[in-house]
A and B are shown apart, each in its own frame.
Chain A
Amino acid sequence: MQEVESKDINLKKLEAEAKANSTPSSFKLMFNEFKSDKMAMISLILVSLFILYVIIASFFINTSNMMSTNIMNYFAKPFTPDFWLGADAGGRSIAKQLIVGSRNSILIAIGLTAISSSVGIAYGLISGYFGGITDLAMQRVYDFMMIIPSFMIIIEIVNIIPSYNAISLTLILSMFYWMGTSRLIRAQTLSESNKDYVQASRASGTSTLKIIFKQIMPNVSSLIIVDTTISFAENIGVETGLSYLGFGLPMGTPSLGTLIANANDADNITTYWWTWLPATIEIIVLCLAISYIGAVLRRATNATQRRSTK
């Protein structure tokens, strides 16, 4: 009994010693990297606050009320107490539409990124690790998905399906946006799976699935983080573009794309600039900020590019 206890204390002491000498966690490394790049820090704060704000604020907005036409406010001027950013031809508040629309666009982009990146990562890892016939078959599927004009087909599907909402639209989009990620991950996996540590894992009796997702995946994590960030910015554009063309979210649901579509009217461009300019600026700022964040994440995951000295 005595011996077990002394061993316990010993273990704790050694553990503490090990902890003190451990390398900083990757989370801490990223934080340090953000601290050393002001622009990226501002971007990170801006993006996260903005996303939080639109999600919370949209709870207080009654969408159907907001989207109802009110002829009295026809093209109301901006910077007034009732209409911060003015109103459109239907007398609907641009500011409120911007909040709800941003929420819709961003949530769809987050969902799309989560699904398509997970699928792409798993697809690339499996295809790259197994190689041979598996790889050949999976890459032909990939080729097929690459050559079909995805935008056209999405528009077709949206037209055929009688009723759809944000969730089903996200799922439809996810079917067509996993390929880029998968090819990137596959290329890296091909080179990783030939390294000796994979053989060492096999010799240690680790199962194939564990080797793929626990041994190889951490080694492509830098690629995954960067690619996911960049494709998030890209995916905001996907939904926005679709809604701009009028095939995105169903009628009466605001989105960044529908707001930008106001710019289709020559009158709106010259006279009623407040109907489309805020949404356009928002997308530019958002995408720029996200790409700054992506650059920092790339540096943080690659030891040779780090700027922070810690």
Chain B
Amino acid sequence: MSATAMSLRSGWRGLAFIAIPVTAIAIFLFYPAALSIIGTLVRPAPGGGYTFSLQSYIFFFTDSYSLANLARTLWTTVVTLVLLIAVNLPIALYMRFTKGRLAAVIQALALFPMFVPGIIICYALIRYMGPNGWLQSLLSLVGFHHYASPHLTPWGPVVGLIWDGMPLTLLILISGLSNVSDASIEAARDVGAGRLRILVSIITPEITHSLLIVSALNFLGIFGQVLMPFMLGPTNPEMMGPFMLRTFSSVRDPLQASTQATITFLICSLAGVAYVRSIARRQREDRT
């Protein structure tokens, strides 16, 4: 048997292997999503037939209320993302270069949120950082009396989402940092590079890929969040997740809800494309 036939055959076998998950995704994800997206564009016309209409999108983009919600979602996503990396990168660096019991404890603490359901975190955070909560009591004990609770303000969901996003961010950054070889750092040290120079010139280039993945995955996770903004955020402006849910279930306007969902999907797919391209480039680099 020739090599081509062999690879062709294993190719078919591979395809058969992924056929079930791909079919499941197509049936349960792509098909209903496509129906929903098409449904926002093509609608039954009065008196039979269908018409193409961008009306629901025009409404969204001319409605200051909807636009404020979109802007709030982008703000929350970007602020949370920046803070997540700012908080987790030092921890990841510490854990990359330190061995021992303390590092293990810190890792366990940082991964702990992964095992706590979001709803529990929400209620716990309300009690902790809410008005007259524990944090406020502790602060007033040490003489600080000007605490303004982030609960029910735009910062509420930011705090919750950082809590929620920490484990994933940390795990990806740690795995990225493990690619940085000790040898290259020592080589740099030998030629007289300082700590900052090592961070900027040796470590950062090695983990840009991880940073990109962290940003893309967190962007997807945060942008569509429902629970945290819904429990901890202000009444208005809403984030897209609670806004869609409310438009669908309370306003009972499925058309506008799917329009909001499609817009959310398009914005998130930008992050998705960045993620996929990053993975693909990585694979190319690994091969060469």
A binds B: no
